[in-house]
Structure 1
């Protein structure tokens, strides 16, 4: 069964093909600047009853330097059968399109990335017939982007940073930088970033951190993930004396974040939040609620 992180690791290149230019440079490969990019069919099945399907396939056309194909594969773990399939993909693509193909493997753990980086020699040692060399993007070589300004400069790369570092204990700093960078971004740009990031984090603990950050930022409220969070808050977060309009106002947002994070709240703390009339103080409490380990911490200056 294909997991959501698997889909995000390769689909991000479908959504943002220009991302590969920066990634290839990070991986030490200099390629001509593409003038156009075409998303190609991913089905590599022959007439024989053997199905071969690459995750994402793109064609990059350049000015005066020809074209090349990019096959993107998301790899969650070591799989001894994969190198043979990858070699098939590349030789088949070259035969079909007569355009030089490249393979990019995206991973979320260092061990898998190191395994995928090893050249695979096909043929006798005296005369190798085919040598498979994949470009590999993973936590070992993708940048850790924790500066909102840097994230804002390249949102696609910042998203890939979050996805490839999903298992990193400090991924929260990456997510915080990305969410901050998206605050002033138009919804048409922010929404796919929000969803791809959530998809890429899968069921890891960082996924809940991302949901908390999304719940706090009002600019995200029209994205599918934000609506899902709101629905959960309405369904699970109603308490005595509160109407269905719980999602409105900063006080309600603080209560929702604490509830989603399963942080206990005393009657006194709840009253202090709901009775506060200062929007700036509520804004500070809301920002602290995202990372606080207890309700009392949101009232304390760092």
Structure 2
């Protein structure tokens, strides 16, 4: 199953293809910014049982007729079958389009990035016919951006850097820098970057940190994640109000509510359950009557 971080690590290049020229410079292979970009079909399947599908495929055209295909792969862990697949992608793309292909692998942990960075010779040891040389972006070479002024200079690169450093001990400072920098950006620029960051963090602990920052620093945006956070806040407020209503009815009836029962009521987040308890509370003779049949 494709994970959210997997999607974000390659989809950011679909949304912002000019990002690759900045990333390539960081990786020591400076490539000029494209003058035009075309999103290519990602399905590399032939008339055969095995399906081959690259994550993101772009055609980047630069000045002077220098064009190439950029295949972006998001890699979450080591997979010894991948080098063979990647070699297939590149040879297939060159055969089909007659345009030089380049592979960029994006990772979120150093071990996977170092593994993916290997040069893989394909062929006999004495004379390899092909050599696989991916470019790899990951926590080992993406910048740790904790300076707001630096982040503002390139919000897209800062977003990718934050995604690749999702497991970094300093991720809190990295995300705070990004959220602060995004506050000054127009909504149409900040909104997709807020979503990509949330997607890229996946289920890591940093994801909740990002949600908290969005709720505070970017509360004025109407992105999907900010609306989701607001909805959660409204739901929590409604649940708290119902819980207080239950306790009020029980207090008026003189029903003793032990600490354990009080905690059960106040920490329940299910509106349906709370509403059932609320209907029972006015006629309950004991707190057990409220929880009947639960």
Q: Does the TM-score normalized on the shorter chain lie above 0.5? A: yes
Distance 2:107 2:11 in 1: 13
Using the TM superposition, give the Cα deviation of residue 42 of structure 1 relative to its aligned residue in structure 2, in angstroms: 0.4
- For 1:99-149, what per-residue CA distance to the aligned partner results, in whole angstroms no more than 9, with x for missing partners? 100000000000000000001111101110111000000000000111111
**Counterpart of 1:109?**
109
Residue-pair matches, total:
242
**Counterpart of 1:194?**
194
Distance 1:56 1:163 in 2: 17
Using the TM superposition, give the Cα deviation of residue 27 of structure 1 relative to its aligned residue in structure 2, in angstroms: 0.5
Using the TM superposition, give the Cα deviation of residue 59 of structure 1 relative to its aligned residue in structure 2, in angstroms: 0.5
Task: Report matched runs for 1:250-289 at 5 Å.
Answer: none
8 Å CA contact 2:179, 2:218 repeated in 1: no
Task: Report matched runs for 1:1-302 at 5 Å.
Answer: 1-238=1-238, 239-240=240-241
- For 1:210-250, what per-residue CA distance to the aligned partner results, in whole angstroms no more than 9, with x for missing partners? 00000013554310000000111111234349xxxxxxxxx
8 Å CA contact 2:219, 2:226 repeated in 1: no
Q: Which runs of 5+ in 1 are unaligned?
A: 242-302
Distance 2:126 2:206 in 1: 48
**Runs of 4+ in structure 1 over 3 Å off:** 218-221, 237-241
* Aligned partner of residue 64 in structure 2, secondary structure: coil
- For 1:169-194, what per-residue CA distance to the aligned partner results, in whole angstroms no more than 9, with x for missing partners? 11111111110011121111111000
Using the TM superposition, give the Cα deviation of residue 18 of structure 1 relative to its aligned residue in structure 2, in angstroms: 0.6
Moved more, 30-39 or 120-129: 30-39
* Aligned partner of residue 64 in structure 1, secondary structure: helix
Distance 2:220 2:93 in 1: 40
Q: Which runs of 5+ in 2 are unaligned?
A: 243-294
CA RMSD of aligned residues (A): 1.4
8 Å CA contact 1:183, 1:219 repeated in 2: no
8 Å CA contact 1:187, 1:219 repeated in 2: no
8 Å CA contact 2:166, 2:201 repeated in 1: yes
8 Å CA contact 1:105, 1:137 repeated in 2: yes
Distance 1:136 1:164 in 2: 11
Q: TM-score, normalised by structure 1?
A: 0.78
Say which one has the larger Rg: 2
Q: TM-score, normalised by structure 2?
A: 0.80
Distance 2:228 2:236 in 1: 12
